[in-house]
Each structure stands twice: as C-alpha cells, then as structure tokens.
C-alpha cells in the first residue's frame, strides 16, 4: 500500500540559508518531517496562506505543529506583555485546516501550539505566561532546549492506550498552556503542577493534542497512531 499523506502546518518566517540568502520563507523544524516519515507516512508541508485548507481533501492525516503564540483575541483576551510570535495568517490557516480535517474525518495530532489551537477552536482559553501561574520555569527551562518533565496520563483513556503507559517524561518547550477547556474536550494528561498536557475531542476519536514535543523524543507512539489512522482514511478513498 502507498504511504498515507500527512500534512504538517508550517511557519512563515524570515530565514537565512546558504551564503547570502535572507528571505521570507515557509519552514518547519525537520524533526516533524522525520518523525512522520519514520512512522511510514509521506509528509507534506502546509504553508500558512489563504486556501491551504483546500489541501485537506487530498490528505490522510494532519499535524498542527508548534510555534509562536496564538492571538489572544481568538479567545477574547487582551494581549499580555509576554505573549510573542503572533502570526495572524498562521492562526487563520490552522483554524481552517482543523475545521476542514474534522469535517472530512481526517485524523489530527496537535503538538504544543497545535494543541492550543484545538482548544481555542472550541471556545477554550489559554494562560499567556505559565511562570506567572505555576511560579516555575519547568515548561521552558532553557532557551531553545527541549528539557524533560514528568507527565501523568489518565488511566483507561485514549492516550494511555496509544502510549501504553500512564507516566512518562516528555520533551517540552512552551510558555503558554491551557486554562479553560473548550466544549467537547477532555483532558488526558497533566504535569505535576496541574497544567493540562494532553487533550482529546470527546466526539472525535481521531483528534488528539499533546502539549509536549514528541518529535523531539524517542517515543514514536503518537506518530504511529496518526499514521495508522491515516492509513484507514486512505483505504476508504
């Protein structure tokens, strides 16, 4: 069977490469691409431009990747001092990608920012700077380093079945987190400080989000799950 096609939402940022190029670029940390490919799927980058959601009809799965902060206006809040990296075009594109994937029954894995998109899309809210809430830097300990912290997973939940365990250390790098859960969302994992680390859509078994970065770790379970779900979609086409 041909590899299922999994789209990954990408950044639009100024970037430098080669000897002289310094231009606006569509980019993504390669770890996402490698993780999807290693799971047996074909990765495709989805730029944050108008009309990207039209590609979902040709995809078998979707990864909403990490990145900068979501515009707080999306969840009815004023922008706090520490909120940074807001890209309205990316917000718009990813909300549209998520809507299209759910409408067409395409499996979704939200990672870090991607999980936050999933929550905000259903009326949830975010803490804009976790150190102000939990009084520690455990969720982003060092600049540009995916340090681990422990997570407890709800037993008998969807995520526990995928991971095959209920306690793990996860590679993490985020300064925002879920506050109020959106409608139809269940929390499935928590950090020691009570911050939600994973969610599922109760009405959509094919939609799952985690606050950590599985692409930076050594556990392929989540990408294997997504690829298996994507194969099921591809087989029905």
Taking phi over 0 as left and psi of -120 to 50 as alpha, with beta for the rest, 206 belongs to alpha
- Sign of the CA dihedral 176, 177, 180, 183? positive
Segment holding 218, helix H or strand E: none
CB atoms within 10 A of CB 228: 16
Listed residue (196, 224, 199) closest to 209, CA to CA:
199
> The tokens of 119 are what?
């929550």
Residue pLDDT, tens place only, 73-90:
999 999 999 999 999 999
* CA distances to 10, 70, 85 from 73, in Å: 22, 8, 14
What is the set of active-site residues?
A: 112, 213, 215
The Cα–Cα gap between 207 and 201 comes to 6
Nearest to 87 by CA among 66, 108, 106: 66
Q: Which residues pair with 109 in a beta bridge?
A: 63, 208
Residues near 103 by beta carbon (within 8 Å), at least 6 away in sequence = none
Res 16 pLDDT > 90 = yes
Mean pLDDT of the chain: 97
Q: Does the pLDDT of residue 4 top 90, yes or no? A: yes
pLDDT at residue 17 is higher than 90 = yes
25 strand-pairing partners: 13
Task: For residue range 34-59, list pLDDT tens digits in order.
Answer: 999 999 999 999 999 999 999 999 99
| Helix/strand/coil (H/E/C) assignment for every residue in 103-137 | HHCCCEEEECHHHHHHHHCCCCCEECCCHHHHCCC
Strand intervals (E) in 121-223? 126-127, 147-153, 167-172, 177-178, 185-191, 196-201, 204-210
- Predicted local distance difference test score (pLDDT) of residue 237: 81
* Average pLDDT value for residue range 207-222: 98
Q: What is the largest CA-CA distance in the chain?
A: 54
**What does pTM read for this prediction?**
0.97
Is the pLDDT confidence value at 97 over 90? yes
Return the H-helix or E-strand segment holding 32.
helix 30-38
Q: At what angle do helices 221-235 and 30-38 cross, to 10 degrees?
A: 60
pLDDT at 1 over 80: no
For residue range 148-179, list pLDDT tens digits in order.
Answer: 999 999 999 999 999 999 999 999 999 999 99
């Amino acid at each position: 069977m041909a590899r299922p096609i999994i789209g990954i939402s990408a950044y639009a940022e100024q970037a430098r490469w080669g000897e002289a190029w310094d231009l606006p670029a569509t980019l993504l940390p390669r770890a996402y691409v490698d993780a999807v490919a290693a799971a047996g799927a074909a990765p495709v980058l989805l730029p944050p431009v108008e009309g990207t959601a039209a590609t979902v009809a040709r995809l078998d799965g979707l990864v909403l990747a990490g990145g900068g902060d979501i515009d707080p206006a999306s969840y009815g809040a004023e922008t706090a001092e520490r909120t940074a990296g807001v890209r309205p075009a990316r917000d718009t594109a990813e909300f549209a990608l998520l809507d299209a994937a759910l409408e067409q029954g395409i499996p979704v894995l939200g990672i870090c920012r991607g999980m936050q998109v999933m929550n905000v899309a259903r009326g949830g809210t975010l803490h804009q700077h976790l150190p102000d809430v939990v009084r520690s830097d455990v969720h982003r300990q060092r600049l540009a380093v995916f340090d681990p912290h422990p997570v407890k997973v709800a037993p008998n939940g969807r995520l526990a079945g995928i991971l095959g365990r209920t306690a793990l250390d996860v590679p993490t790098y985020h300064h925002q987190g879920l506050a109020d859960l959106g409608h139809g969302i269940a929390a499935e994992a928590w950090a020691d400080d009570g911050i939600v680390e994973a969610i599922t859509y109760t009405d959509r078994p094919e939609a799952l989000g985690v606050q950590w970065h599985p692409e930076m770790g050594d556990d392929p379970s989540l990408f294997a799950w997504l690829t298996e779900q994507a194969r099921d979609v591809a087989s029905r086409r």
